[in-house]
Structure formats: structure tokens, C-alpha cells
Amino acid sequence: MKYRRLGTTDLDVSVICLGTMTWGVQNSEADAHAQLDRAVETHGINFIDTAEMYPVPPTAETQGDTERHIGSWLAQRPGMRARVIIGSKVVGANNSSPHMRDGKGRLDRAAIMAAVDGSLRRLRTDYIDLYQTHSPDRGTNVFGRQDYVHEPARDGVPIEETLGVLADLVTAGKVRHVGVSNETPWGLAEHLNRAAQSGAPRVEAIQNPYSLLNRVFEIGLAEMAIRARCGLLAYSPLAMGLLAGKYLGGARPTGARLTLFQRFKRYDKPRQEAATAAYVALAREAGLDPAQMALAFVNARPFVTATIIGATTLEQLDANARSIDLVLSGDVLARIEAIHAGNPNPCP
């Protein structure tokens, strides 16, 4: 495994981060424990990503189960908490569900305090290493939304208020470091500037989507990630599994995520199939596994701190984790750029 520094902190996180949002829906508690054991002991992964709203799809019956599975794993393995770095997230207005705080998710004091205490109970720990806002509280381009429309009426809780609450959590020792997710260039800059002005903890990471099908992060955020030392935690690096090639030609494999759940439309775009087919064909021509090629591309970006992989089987976890050992040749990288130039960002 390879490790990178998390922002300006003293934490070195594994470049491959273990995503967990299927635990509690597609994966049982026993599956979760097996994945955690394999990730830590076999692959050297020390970074675990979760959220209070997981698993996904979110329901009232399963909400929080993902954190509970991590918590029971930690409880059964004395000393393990010191070996792993756990990131969790608090929902905001853009991803609140009716069963969570009556559907009135806001990044205000009452909501954040309730959320972090709930996560700590479920995780069976007294601190969270990286605590992130899951999405902005204002109306902006998140979760695949395009064509920004300015809506001041949806501004929600001011960023400085949210940062003040997070600062109190750091002071109390419940949170070590803070971050953001699904943020825009303006949002990241505002968080960094407000923190610098107020003395609040700085944002140390940004968790946004990034893959061969969605390289929008490069346009306005990549330079910020590097210059501000606030690296990307890349989620959906396989575009919901599309870049593995298993859905090409309209295929819907039994048990696969897009087969089971019709709600995931973010990558159901007109140009997706052609771009995916081109990347998969390139991988196969080069003698590479398509998923590993897609992950290796993300792993090597200079603005990426970690690539968040998700798996429903140990075999998938093993294959995805091994992408850390793959270095793409100059020829493969050039051909990736040619495909991207001809069909850029089909799934922003």
C-alpha cells in the first residue's frame, strides 16, 4: 500500500480508502467485518469512509447500520481503533432524508451535535478522525446537478456558523480534523478563507466524484486541492461500476448495484455508453483489467489524496486494492486523453 498525508495534518492515509455505503443493504455485518479484516490485514488499508446516512439507498430501517457494523468490528478487535483512520459525514440540506431529523437536515449547531454524537455511539469510539459536511447547505450544483441557478433563498446555514460548531467539536476532542464533500470551488475557498479569518479548523480534504467519466474536478478544484493542500478523496472512481464494463450493452448482472436499484440515474447519460466502451476496449487491448485501469488513473492524479473503493465481495475488494500496484504506461495515458478529448465528461 502507498500512503499520503491528509492535508496539513499529521495523518498518513492509505491511497486506497475503503468505502462502506453498501454495508447494511447489499452486505451483512459479517460481510463488513470480513472486508475490514481483508482491507487492513492483507492490503494495508488504514482509511475507512462512512457517513451517518449510510447505507445507500437510505431508509429509516437501515440508517446508521454501516457505522454500527464498523463499531462492532472495532469492539471485537482491541487495539484496532488506533490503527485505522475513520471518516464520517453529517447530512445537510441537499442530502437530508425524511427519516433523518424530520427531513430538515441543516448544518447548524443542534443538527451537527446530534449527528456526531449518534455517529460516535454507533462507531463505538470517542473520536472521529475526519468529520465532513456531506453536502453544502446552500442551493448549488451537487450530485450531478448542472447549469447553476443562483438561489439565495436556499443559502441555509452560513459557512462560518458551521465552522464554529466544528471548531467546538475539535476542541472537545470528538473530532480530530474536518472536511467537506460535494463542494464547489467557491465553497471550498469560502471554507478555507473563513477558517483562516476565525481561527476555526481548516478543511483538510474534499470528497467529490472523480473518474474517467467525470473529470470535472480538474476544471476548478484540482489547482485548489494542490495549492491549498486540501486533497481530493475521490468517490465513485468506477462510476457506480460502469467502468468495470459489466453493464455494457445494457447488461444487468444479477446482484449488481444498478440491477438492484433503479434510483441511481446519475450516470444514466446519453454519451456514457460510448465513452465507457472506449475505455474498456483500451484496457483490454493493453492487457489490463478495466476496473484496475480506471482506478490506477485516479490513484496517480497529483491532486488526489485517496481513492474510495467500494466492493460487495472480497474478490472485488482484492482486485480494486491491487490497483495501487498498477502504473499506467505513457501510451495508455495518451490514449485515455484521446478518448477524453473526443468525449469529455459524459457523466458530470
Q: Any idea which residues carry the catalytic annotation?
A: 54
Residues in the chain: 348
- 3-state DSSP assignment of residue 11: coil
Burial class, 216, CB count within 10 angstroms (exposed 0-12 / middle 13-18 / buried 19+): middle
DSSP 42: I
The answer to whether the beta carbons of residues 178 and 194 sit under 8 Å apart is no
Tell me: cis bond preceding 152? Omega within 30 of 0 counts: no
The C-alpha atoms of residue 294 and residue 299 are separated, in whole angstroms, by 9
Q: 144-167 burial by CB neighbour count: b if 16+ within 10 A, else e?
A: eeeeeeeeeeeebbebebbbebbb
Q: Which residue has the cell 447548524?
A: 108
Cβ-based neighbour number of residue 173 at 10 Å: 9
Q: Where are the alpha helices (DSSP H) in 46-108?
A: 65-75
The C-alpha atoms of residue 308 and residue 236 are separated, in whole angstroms, by 7
- Which three cell numbers, joined as nine digits, stand for 123? 462507531
